[in-house]
Structure 1
Amino acid sequence: MDSSDEAAPPSVRSQRGGWITFPFIIGTMAGLTLAAGGWIANLIVYLIQEFNIKSISAAKIYNVVNGSITMFPIIGAIVADSFVGCFSVIWFSSLISLLGTLLLVLTAAISHLRPPSCENGSNACRYPSHLQFAVLYLGLALASLGNAGTRFTIAPMGADQFNNPKSQGIFFNWYIFTMYTATVVSSTAIVYVEDNVDWAWGFGLCAVANVIGLAVFLSGSRFYRLVKPKGSPFRSLAHVVVGAISKRRMILSDQTEDYYHDLNVHAKCPTRFFRFLNRAALRSTEGDANQEGSITNPWKQCTVQQVEALKSLIKIFPLWSTGLFLCTPLAIQLSLATLQALSMDRHIGPRFHVPAGSMSVFILISTSFSIFLIDRLLFPLWEKLTHRPPKLLQRIGIGHALTIVSMAVSAVVESKRLKIARLDDVQNETDAVVPMSALWLVPQLAIAGIGEAFHFPGQVALYYQEFPESLKSTSTAAVAMFIGIAFYISNAIIDLIRRATGWLPDDINQGRLDNVYWFCCILGGFNFGYYLVCASLYKYQNVEKSADGCSKS
């Protein structure tokens, strides 16, 4: 068990937790990620080949699914923090994802649940019926929501097993390493089965992996440290806003004793940031606290700790917002790279044919390998040379810069692909294959993966460290949330580009996908500038020292 277990707060069962839980949590992550990755990675190809859906429309459905998977974890996190805890959210969500995956198995196994097959690009292709769409979308919805409830809720539960930040940091690195490695396996092995054996068998393997992940999770239940929910933290934050407004006429004090504090917590003055909120913690004479010190009316009397919790969210919000347009170009790249691969030569040798849905594996391999090198080589070397570890904001900033480089490389490669398409007159043929190897897409995807190795673990650790104690599950879900919103923004940008330009027709050989990537590069550049401003103004709250006195009105 973690050596600092004696310091565990009373809200946890201190006799549990520690490294003994690590194999169970990582095993759960591996199984559930295998299950989800097997159908997500090849979804665009499945929609095009089996449901006769046009390429750009399939890419947009893919973005919606990914958006749901990475946006809805915020709901699971709120439920975990407020009501039932992470353990119940994870096992229940695993059952939901299993049900959704089984519905996808049915769509692949029963021919009546799919439209008749036809040649890709043919005008004679039949569109799916309402029933076929209903079963497909229900399966995708359940599988997506179930995956959303597990993927990012496992992270705070794993971190809760340890008390010192170093152990938590090690866990987060292995958590993300496992997520990416398992996705690599599912994006290659399971996708290969789907493309070369049978879609039903491939989706069936996803269902088996889901069952294994759930079984591993439940088998470790006797070892887990379970954090007790403390009620809705968002209600507590609302108390601060209402309390500050109701006491807006009160004069702020410079005396610590004039402010109400949590029991058994060292009294300190509220910070000067957004100081009008400090009024919520001023002791009132209206009898909002009894003689024992308990608050009787939380809408009028708050504690300094509640006020500071709200302030910490306000301080970090600008940094959080930079993640939206960091991930939007990556979401566009992820979906459009699959369409590029479909139009390129994917042979390696005379027999092996790389599945288009497996192209994302190069991002995953790059990220996993880079995380290992960063954790074991780069950061120790950095610390040896500078005598201090790199700051989380520096790590995230490097990820921003590498993402911009990836978009620029994507634009250059696509320009070359279009030039070859014109030279070989394939633009006059619908969905023709350009005589250019799909391996040309690897450098841009590898650079994007290196960027993710910097910014993704950095952001997970930053928000877990900087969010209030009552919002630890929500902290990691906040990362997932801006990734999810980015997928929806990417769909909006694709729609805007299709309406305003001719860059994105259904046959990308007749478009200008390179201009789309240059647009993403410019978007990322502006966002990077915004990030630098936010990072330069931000002060780490875990090391920020309180002022000697309180603010005066």
Structure 2
Amino acid sequence: MKEEYGGDEGFNQLSLSASNKLRRGWMDFISNFDSQFPYMDDSPILNDAIPGNRRSQSGGWRAAGVIIGVEIAERFAFFGISTNLVSYLTVEMEQSMASAAQNVNLWIGTASLLPLVAASFADSFLGRYLTIILASALYILGLGLLTLSAMLASPSSFQGSGSAASAATGASARPVLHVVLFFSSLYLVAFAQGGHKPCLQAFGCDQFDGEDPQECIAKCSFFNWWYFATTLGSFIALIILSYIQDNLGWCLGFGIPCISSLVALLVFLLGTQTYRFVTIANDEEKPFMRIGRVFFNAARNWRTASSEIDISEEGQDAMLYRRCGQLRFLNKALVAPVDSDDDGKTCNIVEVEEAKGVLRLIPIWIASLSYAIVLSQCSTFFVKQGSTMDRSIRPSFKIPAATIQCFGCIAVVLFVPIYDRLLVPIARIFTLKPSGISMLQRIGVGMFISTLSMVVAALVEVKRLAVAREHGLTQNPNSTIPITIWWLTPQLLLLGVSSVFTMVGLQEFFYDQVSSEVKSVGLALYLSIFGVGNLLSSLLVSVIEEATGGDDGRGGWFANNINKAHLDYFYWLLAGIGKVGLLAYVYFANSYVYKYNVER
């Protein structure tokens, strides 16, 4: 081949020419890309206030509205898979109820923890905008493969002599190809969601400048309407996709979320001209490297006495943080070791306070786990209770037991506008805060309401069991107890209202209290609360089942016959856990110093 171009020299010249053309083409692409999106740099992170001329040309509610619409479609797709996944695993995959529940809990927990990894990568390397696009593409691919696996799961293809045996043992008789394709695509969806959700919300928050008073108020409102959008998307999926999957087939039930994700990506791209891309200098050290260096230097200087640390040299930066006396051991990162002349590796006061800010979030994160454990019951035991109650609306129509989850969604959809447009303005008059009440106060109110919901749930279960005993139905778990399913609505409505306080408050808190370079990671920390909470809830159920002697499904608090079980005891226990978590939360919240108070 080289001889055709004049030997080695001619071939090398041709290769060099092609390489130069490729490089020039790439630089032209980057130049055109920058001219189309003048506010976007290599890393979409905000350091300073946005100039007034840019503020009027980009961002705001116009851009945030597009992003909220994308979130509705994404939640519609995700909940379209998750809400009815147990049914698919037990019916189509022929798994036992225990195996299906374990797989669902593991998948949801993984999906809630993956944002920590994806958001860290986005904030340090790729940026939020490009991460959203890449995650959306993986989302579409995962849902497309999930639809393909449903197409391969033709009932006639798997009928055989092993079906009865597999059903008896709880194992799946499905071919290995179908099982591998299904779970691979399922976890691809979880991975894509891990990159999509925290970055999309952080990108939506970037459309508002926290340094501008009016946009600061709008940003507080954004968190309310964001949660409204997520609930609306899940509500639509619960109503529409559950019916389609049960009655029209899983291919269509998985295919519609795939189409929804594709439309969401197109809408997101069409809105690019309206977005506000906020940047930092490309030569800055990555945020996690800075934070890690603070902890390393503090550990290296652990023998240094506090009296030897002088921050007066830091000038104005020191004055910004002088009021904050928490976590003083990290101040040791400000000095160089005695046996070292290299002052270049020491940290400044801004970097130390950045690391302190991350560390101060941990107690709030831990205390919030009790709320996540309570919230995880909504899609498990509440539904099981509802399946034994009178679900008749008309003599010829019964609502599905899973539909009772809609009451929590309805509470959110109705209460968010009331909270945002009525309660916040009233509270703002007395507190003079843009958000009405502080973020930590809002979280605490929701935790109190969630604990109250468990008390109500326990009392309702006592009533349900009493009616079952009164009519002699304790030995028949498949019979309908003459007590209406509407008895479950108070606890669901309370949980829905509590989520407007706590979940929205946690979103705003973890976004606001981290440095601007790691906003996506802050929201990923919020999501990880519910991932860990879901796993802890599963562990709690396993421990109680073992402790109460119900591991064979015949007795204990979680007996297969729910009319002989003691879910009321479990709800009382959850109320106690919620109370302990609330007390711990109040203690940590009272000692917390807001980043706003420190920096301003």
TM-score, normalised to structure 2, is 0.80
Residue number in structure 1 paired with 2:465: 418
Deviations 1:216-253 (A, max 9, x none): 11222233223447654222111112222334455655
Question: 1:471 — aligned with what?
Answer: 518
1:143 corresponds to which residue? 189
The 5-angstrom pairing of residues 31-180 of structure 1 reads 31-112=73-154, 123=168, 127-129=172-174, 131=176, 132-164=178-210, 165-180=216-231
Equivalents in 1 of 2:168, 2:481: separation in Å? 22
Amino acid at match of 1:190: L
Distance 1:531 1:21, change over 3 A: same
Q: 1:258 aligns with which of 313, 328, 341?
A: 313
How far residue 156 of structure 1 moved from its aligned partner, in angstroms, is 0.9
Match of 1:305 among 337, 346, 350: 350
SS at the partner of 2:208? coil
Among candidates 302, 308, 315, match of residue 360 of structure 2? 315
What do the CA deviations read for 1:472-493 (whole angstroms, capped 9, x no partner)? 1111111101111001111101
Q: Counterpart of 2:8?
A: none
Any unmatched runs of 5+ in structure 1? 290-294, 547-553
Q: Is residue 2:589 matched to residue 1:528?
A: no
Instruction: Answer yes or no: is the 8 Å Cα contact 2:321–2:599 preserved in 1.
Output: no
Equivalent runs, 1:349-498 vs 2, <5 Å: 349-385=394-430, 389-429=436-476, 431-498=478-545
Superposed displacement of residue 516, structure 1: 1.5
Provide the alpha-carbon RMSD of the alignment. Answer: 3.2
CA distance in structure 2 between the partners assigned to 1:521 and 1:48 by the alignment: 31
Q: Which residue of 2 aligns with 1:551?
A: none
Whole-angstrom distance in 2 between the partners of 1:390 and 1:93: 35
Distance 1:125 1:62 in 2: 16
Instruction: Name the SS of the counterpart of 1:328 in structure 2.
Output: helix
Q: Which runs of 5+ in 2 are unaligned?
A: 1-38, 40-45, 211-215, 549-555
Q: Secondary structure at the match of 1:273?
A: coil
Q: Which has the higher helix share?
A: 2
Moved more, 521-530 or 198-207: 198-207
**Is the contact made by 1:85 and 1:227 (CA closer than 8 Å) also made in structure 2?**
no
Which of 188, 194, 205 aligns to 2:245? It is 194
Moved more, 301-310 or 417-426: 417-426
Pair 1:183 & 2:234 matched? yes
Residue 22 of structure 1: CA displacement? 1.8
Amino acid at match of 1:87: Y
Matched positions, count: 529
Q: Is the 8 A contact 1:96 1:142 kept in 2?
A: yes
- Which is worse superposed, 210-219 or 96-105? 96-105
| Identity across the alignment (%) | 28
Change (3 A) 1:231 1:149: farther
Aligned-partner Cα distance in 1 for 2:114–2:432: 40
- Provide the secondary structure at the position in 1 that maps to 2:597: coil
Change (3 A) 1:123 1:344: farther
Distance 2:546 2:47 in 1: 61
Q: Match of 2:483, SS?
A: strand
**SS of equivalent to 1:504:** coil
Distance 1:517 1:260 in 2: 55
**For the residues of structure 2 that align with 1:143 and 1:489, how far apart are their CA atoms?**
23
Please give the TM-score of this superposition, normalised by the length of structure 1.
0.86
Maintained 8 Å contact 1:255/1:269: no
| Residue of structure 2 equivalent to 1:213 | 264
Structure 1 window deviating more from structure 2 (179-188 vs 382-391): it is 382-391
**2:209 is paired with a residue of what secondary structure?**
coil
Distance 2:360 2:120 in 1: 20
Question: Structure 1 122/382 Cα, relative in aligned 2: closer, same or farther at 3 Å?
Answer: same
Q: How big is each residue's C-alpha offset from its partner over 1:248-281, in whole Å with a ceiling of 9 and x where there is no partner?
A: 455655754534998xx98765843222322322
Asked if the contact 1:240/1:306 (under 8 Å) is kept, the reply is yes
Maintained 8 Å contact 2:95/2:171: no
**Alpha-carbon deviation of 1:386?**
5.5
Q: Partner residue of 1:550?
A: none
Q: Is the radius of gyration larger for structure 1 or structure 2? A: 2
Q: 1:394 to 1:369 in 2, by over 3 A?
A: same
Seen in structure 2, the aligned counterparts of structure 1 residues 239 and 340 have a Cα distance that, compared at 3 Å, is same
Structure 2 residue 49 is the aligned partner of structure 1 residue 8: yes
What SS class does the counterpart of residue 542 from structure 1 fall into? helix
1:170 CA drift (Å):
1.8
Give the Cα–Cα distance (whole angstroms) in 1 for the partners of residues 149 and 390 of structure 2: 29
Aligned to 1:72, what secondary structure does the other structure show? helix
The equivalent of 1:335 in structure 2 is 380
The aligned residue for residue 292 of structure 1 is none
Q: Any conservation in 1 of the 2:93–2:174 contact (CA below 8 Å)?
A: no
CA distance in structure 1 between the aligned counterparts of 2:389 and 2:514, rounded to whole angstroms: 45
Indicate the SS of the match to 1:348.
strand
Cα contact 2:47–2:516 (8 A) shared by 1: no
Structure 1 pair 144–128 and aligned structure 2 pair: CA distance change class (3 A): farther
